[in-house]
Amino acid sequence: MVDRRFYTRLKRSFRIRWKDRDLDFLGVTGDLCPGGVFVVTDTLLPVHTVLDMEIWLERELPARCRGEVIWINRGQVVSYPPGFGVQFIDLSDDVLAMLLMVCGDPYGAGRLYAGLS
């Protein structure tokens, strides 16, 4: 299996709220990076489901973002709990900078902000 991830994932539980047209759940992350998040849940959504998410990243206010379900773990990957992987879409620069900082890439966040000025 080839790992095609651009970012290193931070294996850490953050509170997450995710919702689509019909569902609204509170839960936790299994891991996180600036490219996406793994949501730990027994509620499995179809691939390509678009979600609105709020993730509490060591702050009182959550980071708000959107993402698309790109894979589902129903137990086939034994090193992961049940849940689904989400690729971020429509990330604001502020949320991307927060993710870079939390995931240990403060230089990436600095480069992002330097490019904005």
| pLDDT (tens digit per residue) in 5-36 | 566 778 889 999 999 888 899 999 999 988 99
Segments of the chain scoring below 70 in pLDDT: 1-7, 105-117
The pLDDT assigned to 56 comes to 95
Spatial distance between the Cα atoms of 103 and 7, rounded to a whole number of angstroms: 9
SS3 for 19-48 is ECCCCEEEEEEEEEECCEEEEECCCCCCCC
- Which three-class secondary structure state does DSSP give residue 76? coil
In this structure, what token pair is assigned to residue 111? 């480069």
Give domain limits for the chain: 15-112
State the distance between the two ends of the chain, measured CA to CA, in whole angstroms: 40
pLDDT at 63: 92
Q: What per-residue confidence (pLDDT) applies to 93?
A: 86
DSSP helix/strand/coil, 84: strand
The candidate with the shortest Cα–Cα distance to 34, out of 114, 103, 116, is: 103
Confirm whether pTM is higher than 0.85: no
CATH architecture of 15-112: Beta Barrel (2.40)
- Using an 8 Å Cβ cutoff, are 55 and 36 in contact? no
Position 29 scores a pLDDT of 95
CA of 115: how far to CAs of 20, 89, 100, 111, in Å? 33, 20, 15, 6
pLDDT of residue 62: 92
Three-state DSSP class for 56? coil
- The pLDDT of residue 74: 87
